[in-house]
Structure 1
């Protein structure tokens, strides 16, 4: 059964090849699964697979202990919901030995389709600075689970 919040998250969602999207998705019950380096590396590997398969072109991301911020351009023929569903499904299956049974990710995700007038690099800086704002590190470069194409 879908909640009103899930339906609201989907309202107005569209997919366009080449469109830039900033998505945020959280672990189930905000469990800090990615404080574990093995789990973090596994999830990052699944993100890279989507990039390598050209379903998207990853621009910037940060994997926080309990959520992911990801900026990417949607690949030709891919849908936003399809890409996120594939990522969450495959990463959850890979994480299952470490997490045990039950959900890994919260249902749904938040997305923002960037407008042409938005500063993409400013959004990328905002994304990769999340660990700094959360007080996890004193410098962005000290946090291990992030990347941006501008480096």
Structure 2
């Protein structure tokens, strides 16, 4: 029997050029400033930015360390990123994140889809995390 899969979609307008917003996703020194929910901070980021390359990001907060890992599946410069996403540990599981970057007015619309989530609670938790993370991204350009 196939397990139910949950999917979330969110968008965020960033008042910056598409190339600058895209760059914030692929350069560890920039991502370190924004790439996690507000209540956490980035510890370390490792990126092998190419299709098939892996990333590993540690996030610190509440006396805990959370480690996100994944593999880049598709890269279209300044337009689209697709990568697997999971949490290091025994229940890792791999979900799929697609981020599309579109010109909109004086900035960029970031459209994020996170799919293959295992439950409604996982979907809600990830939605809360992504909304907070994208707010951090927006602050990088304000």
TM-score, normalised on structure 1? 0.29
Higher helix proportion (structure 1 or 2): 1
Higher strand proportion (structure 1 or 2): 2
